[in-house]
Structure 1
């Protein structure tokens, strides 16, 4: 029984392009002996009976049509691949970073699914990944809110060993650029992982000279941008993960309320 049959109905666009090639190679490395043909490697959907086909031809559907197909499984494999890129950015793999990835996957997906995903992650980690190609596929197929959630997760990995080294930060910055994430959005999420005096302003994407009215407008804007409901199409597990980012926005606003006295 082919190991590819572990891929279930929860995977959509990520079966094609560079991501599909990476996942296909990783599954092949796992070996057919691991598969029983009854369970999915990623997600909770029922396995397809046919062998997945990796699309290589251009897809001319509109952005809205394509992004509507992003699933929990698509997000999951994107996360695994980009996590591997960040962990290897400084030339070494810290066990605390690997433990962080496992812990987060257990929190989101449960122990059984996380264990299966981590087996796949180990095989992905052995590959040389073309970061630009992977990110461009994600940018084309995944909506903005989900891409912001990916970035938040990557900063969490980098900080898992208590310090974000320059190589890791540069790699995340490069990934953000390839994903089409603006510098304001990048700095907002980055500020959630640093302890600096102006972090509250950066999280809300405003300057220190902002008026009270501007702070209030910025807060309302960021609530809309980072609200967990924006990623509910990815499944409850990712909606829960987005709450940590949302709480940082609320905390930043409350801090400025206290400092400015409004």
Structure 2
């Protein structure tokens, strides 16, 4: 656990305050079990209140919200835990992922966390594009066992509401994880009855809104997820074009 708190404190900005910071302090204090020098270092960093989202802020937010979704169906599946861990290994490397997962184990066993309070803190500091990326990641976790349970969809819907993600955007992201004839239209936030011009305009708007460059401030490690979402939008448009002969 040596320098565990240092890893946390060095990587976050606004997440060090509010309910997320309070929970982090408790979890780190419990994990360190008396290693006061490292805990004091976290408390020192806990005074930092930058409004610019850093990679660490996004990382911590993922951990908190992932725990909410994984617990939504009343069971904690190893496949879902493995997905979170593998995702962090791919993004940050093994050492950083190991530290993140130590914290994640504490978060997932904490029954006192308020989802609404955590989401309010995230909403007040993250851009709409970053918040949408969180929702995309949460659906990927839910789908990691091959099936998205209704309880998981409801949990993500609640999180999306707290994050002020509008329903059309939520349905668009959700549709990226289902394979049916309606998915392409839902991803583009249009209906089958819309004309070609409406669909083209919707596509251009979504490409602009969800371009990976909008998440460049989170660091290169987070761009993969953004690129996957961007590709889904492009694929949906190509599917509709082929279907309609545009």
User: TM class by shorter-chain length?
Assistant: over 0.9
Q: Which residue of 1 aligns with 2:95?
A: 112
For the pair 1:150 / 2:143, whether they are aligned, the reply is: no
Output the TM-score relative to the length of structure 1: 0.87
> How much does 1:9 deviate?
3.2
What runs of 5+ residues in structure 2 fail to find an aligned partner?
none
Contact 1:5 1:51 in 2 (8 A): no
Q: When the two structures are aligned, how many residues end up with a matched partner?
A: 242
Retained in 2: the 8 A contact 1:16–1:54? yes
1:229-260 deviation digits (Å, cap 9, x = unpaired): 11000000111221110110010000011001
Secondary structure (helix, strand or coil) at the match of 2:217 reads helix
Residue 140 of structure 1: aligned partner: 124
In the alignment, which residue of structure 2 is the partner of 1:226?
A: 210
1:30: how far off? 1.4
Query: Structure 1 stretches (4+) deviating beyond 4 angstroms?
Result: 32-37
Q: CA deviation at 1:54?
A: 5.1
- Name the residue aligned to 1:168: 152
CA distance, structure 2, for counterparts of residue 201 and residue 127 of structure 1: 39
Q: Tell me the residue number matched to 1:14.
A: 15
Deviation at 1:31, TM superposition (A): 1.0
Residue 107 of structure 1 and its aligned partner are, at CA, apart by 1.3
Aligned match of 2:77: 94
Separation in structure 2 between the aligned mates of residue 102 and residue 53 of structure 1, nearest angstrom:
25
- TM-score, structure 2 normalization: 0.92
State the shift of 1:3 in Å.
5.0
Aligned positions of 1:47-66 closer than 5 A: 51-53=44-46, 66=51
Unaligned runs of 5+ in 1: 38-47, 60-64
CA 1:253 to 1:163, structure 2 compared with 1: closer, same or farther past 3 Å?
same
Superposed CA RMSD: 2.1
Question: Contact 2:80–2:145 at 8 Å: present in 1 too?
Answer: yes
* Distance change in 2, residues 1:171/1:49 (3 Å): closer
Deviations 1:15-67 (A, max 9, x none): 00011011111211211578996xxxxxxxxxx79723358xxx9xxxxx83x
Deviates most, 71-80 or 161-170: 161-170
Partner of 1:41: none
Q: Does 1:125 align with 2:108?
A: yes
